[in-house]
């Protein structure tokens, strides 16, 4: 079972790679600022810490076992490295025109750019949650 911080990113990697490769093979290029689509604006509003609305993650994205904290941190940092690599591979491409289907709901379609932004917000939420846990553990009883 993957560690909890990687579940979301792991779902996106198989979607980003073909979209990036397809755009690169077509010779797509971008020299303008990116624009967020509807979901790229709406989803961060829901998940930016502290969350304004709480909702349960889909079953396949709920962690069953997180293991020791040191493993969770290692997995999170590895996920960050892979995310940065994917962003690097997509340099110069029109990310706000490349559509993918959400790994969370087949009914949602948004751009690679929006998914990168949503993933960044989601990772900030994990960091915010970790800070809250650390504060609770370090506060005197």
Q: Is the peptide bond before 50 cis (omega within 30 degrees of 0)?
A: yes
CA neighbor of 78 nearest in space, from 17, 9, 137, 128: 9
Using CA atoms, how far residue 120 sits from 31, 60, 113, 136, in Å, is: 22, 20, 11, 25
Q: What is the pLDDT of residues 18-59, one digit of tens each?
A: 999 999 998 888 888 999 999 999 999 988 998 887 777 777
> What rounded mean pLDDT belongs to the chain?
86
pTM score, whole prediction: 0.84
Q: How far apart are CA 34 and CA 114, in angstroms?
A: 9
Asked if 53 contacts 122 with a C-beta cutoff of 8 angstroms, the reply is no
Asked if 15 contacts 101 with a C-beta cutoff of 8 angstroms, the reply is yes
- Give residue for tokens 């289907």: 101
- Is residue 4's pLDDT more than 50? no
The residues spanned by each domain of the chain are 9-25+37-53+69-138
Q: What is the pLDDT of residues 103-118, one digit of tens each?
A: 988 999 999 999 999 9
- Is residue 2's pLDDT more than 60? no
């Amino acid at each position: 079972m993957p560690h909890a911080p990687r579940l979301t990113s792991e779902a996106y990697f198989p979607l980003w790679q073909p979209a990036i490769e397809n755009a690169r093979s077509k010779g797509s290029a971008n020299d303008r600022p990116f624009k967020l689509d509807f979901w790229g604006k709406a989803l961060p509003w829901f998940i930016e810490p502290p969350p304004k609305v709480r909702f349960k993650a889909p079953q396949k994205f709920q962690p069953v076992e997180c293991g020791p904290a040191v493993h969770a941190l290692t997995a999170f940092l590895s996920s960050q490295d892979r995310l940065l690599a994917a962003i690097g591979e997509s340099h110069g491409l029109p990310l706000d025109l490349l559509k993918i289907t959400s790994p969370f709901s087949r009914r949602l379609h948004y751009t690679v750019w929006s998914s990168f932004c949503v993933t960044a917000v989601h990772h900030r939420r994990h960091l915010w949650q970790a800070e809250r846990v650390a504060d609770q553990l370090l506060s005197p009883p």
